[in-house]
Structure 1
Amino acid sequence: MVSAPATAAGALAGGALAVAAWHIGPAATWLPGLRTAYFPGLDGRGSPGRVALTFDDGPDPLSTPHFLRALEALSVRATFFVLGSRLERAPELGRRMAAAGHEVAVHGWEHDRPWLPRPGRDAAELARAAATVQRITGQRPLWYRPPYGILTGGRWAAARRTGLRPVLWSAWGRDWTASATPDNVVAEAASRLGPGGTLLLHDSDAYAAPGAWRVTLAALPRLVAYCRGLGLEVGRLADHGHPGGGVPYGFPGPAG
């Protein structure tokens, strides 16, 4: 006969495993092959005549203005996934983005990794970031891309509660690394980018190798030219014609 303490311990262990699975399971969508095969919206797949150009980690007073000027020269509008804490410190950059026709989306409040389940904090911080974007830019944000592309159960639930659509990327330039050069950023992006794709770049080196943004800036005109050479229009996610990612595996939000 199983004792009551043993039964209780087993129930607690089972509950802990269930919470861990709910928290960690959706993070498997970070894997490009899984996203491409099963979650094309989350992979950033849209209209085949377009490419969505996106930037993470700003706004950054040292680097973001250079990207805004470059995009204006290229006649391209993009989607900037901003951190609420950084936008609050540089609101004029958020207003400049919106005034130039760029889309301002949510990258979170801080650039942190979700090691432990924290659904209440996830919900509060994401709502705070979205409200900050709307207050500063006058735009209601549509999209959410978490730091490092790690979507946990709590972050999925927080996005759903805040009315944001999760989206990651189809291709990136690995432009945050110390070894990045304009040539290998273009080559890396071109190796996976095609019709209907979403490209991830960074307009700040706050969470990257020092000076990495200069490499991205140098690669940007070549990347736009590459896409246009394929007959693809480069623009914002809002014009890309896809609904964003849904909750994978039927994961519900947290109880309550």
Structure 2
Amino acid sequence: MTPQPIGEPGSTRHAAPLLASVGIARRHLTPRLWSPRLSGISSSGHVALTYDDGPDASSTPCFLSLLAEYDTRATFFVLGRHLGDGSLLRDISGQGHEIGIHGWDHTATVVRRRGRLADDLRRARSQVEELAGCEVHWYRPPYGLLTRGTLSAADAAGLEVVLWSAWGRDWTRRATPHSITRVVTGQVRPGGTVLLHDSDRTSAPDSWRSTLGATRLLLDIWRAQRLRVGPLSEHWSQPCDGVAG
């Protein structure tokens, strides 16, 4: 799907992450800012499993149940405006998963002023830590769009930006469990980070069901390959070096 103009109400709904989010293009667009760590790539054999756009009471519990069945933990990047009373956050944290910040809302950072973005990230982080009783270290900007201001705002909020090295294209109407699995397995390598979505809040309606099915298929494949799978906190030997806890 061709991305729509950013900044217009509703214009980014169901739109694919933009080119700044895609491997070679990201490195080309921000060469001085690029690093393997920013892509979520480590030198370990570990695969980091991450989900964006929650928490969502209609879908996130299904992912928690499936991950519990496989005794696997993940990192959930949440939106501040959808935290609710914090009960779902506490479920996520209480089951051993990690929570990161995806923003206060899903507005692309390229249309946000640095100071306002930093304030929103601080607010989201503070509320997550208060409601869930856990420390928050990571930030993934909506659509993966990066500017120097994005990195500066994250640093001001005590967060480290991390993107991904593989995605499932699970936000589209045509996505199926098998198509998502095929795309992810074609991209991910040991030491990589996988991006999926536990909510259809900014994706095609009910697309999370295909992601749920793909998660089961992927976990079966990774188990057969004896790959270690888990949250970003297990991805590097020194998580969040230089970032306030």
Range of TM-score over shorter length: 0.7 to 0.9
**Match of residue 164 from structure 2:** 169
The runs of 4+ residues in structure 1 deviating greater than 6 Å are: none
* Distance of 1:59 and 1:35 partners within structure 2: 27
- Any residues of structure 2 matched to 1:30-69 within 5 Å, and which? 30-33=21-24, 38-69=34-65
Identity of aligned residues (%): 47
- Any residues of structure 2 matched to 1:200-211 within 5 Å, and which? 200-211=195-206
**Match of residue 81 from structure 2:** 85
In structure 2, the CA distance between the partners of 1:165 and 1:48, relative to structure 1 (3 Å rule), is: same
In structure 2, the CA distance between the partners of 1:114 and 1:165, relative to structure 1 (3 Å rule), is: closer
In structure 2, the CA distance between the partners of 1:33 and 1:234, relative to structure 1 (3 Å rule), is: same
In structure 2, the CA distance between the partners of 1:115 and 1:163, relative to structure 1 (3 Å rule), is: closer
Please point out which of 97, 111, 116 is paired with 1:116.
Answer: 111
* Distance of 2:152 and 2:132 partners within structure 1: 25
What TM-score, normalized to structure 1? 0.80
- Contiguous gaps of at least 5 residues in structure 1: 1-26, 247-256
* Distance of 2:96 and 2:45 partners within structure 1: 20
Select the structure of larger CA radius of gyration.
1
**Match of residue 149 from structure 2:** 154
* Distance of 2:99 and 2:233 partners within structure 1: 10
Contact 2:118 2:153 in 1 (8 A): yes
* Distance of 1:232 and 1:56 partners within structure 2: 22
- Any residues of structure 2 matched to 1:1-256 within 5 Å, and which? 30-33=21-24, 38-87=34-83, 89-241=84-236
Paired residues, what number?
219
What TM-score, normalized to structure 2? 0.84
* Distance of 1:215 and 1:170 partners within structure 2: 20
Contact 1:167 1:245 in 2 (8 A): no
Shift of 1:140: 1.4
In structure 2, the CA distance between the partners of 1:125 and 1:32, relative to structure 1 (3 Å rule), is: same
Q: Provide the alpha-carbon RMSD of the alignment.
A: 2.1
**Match of residue 6 from structure 2:** none
- Answer with 98-107 or 112-121: which moved more: 112-121
Contact 1:44 1:169 in 2 (8 A): yes
In structure 2, the CA distance between the partners of 1:106 and 1:236, relative to structure 1 (3 Å rule), is: same
Contact 2:109 2:142 in 1 (8 A): no
Secondary structure in 2 matching 1:174: coil
- Answer with 121-130 or 44-53: which moved more: 44-53
- Contiguous gaps of at least 5 residues in structure 2: 1-17
**Match of residue 12 from structure 1:** none
**Match of residue 8 from structure 1:** none
Q: Which amino acid in 2 is paired with 1:84?
A: G
Secondary structure in 2 matching 1:123: helix
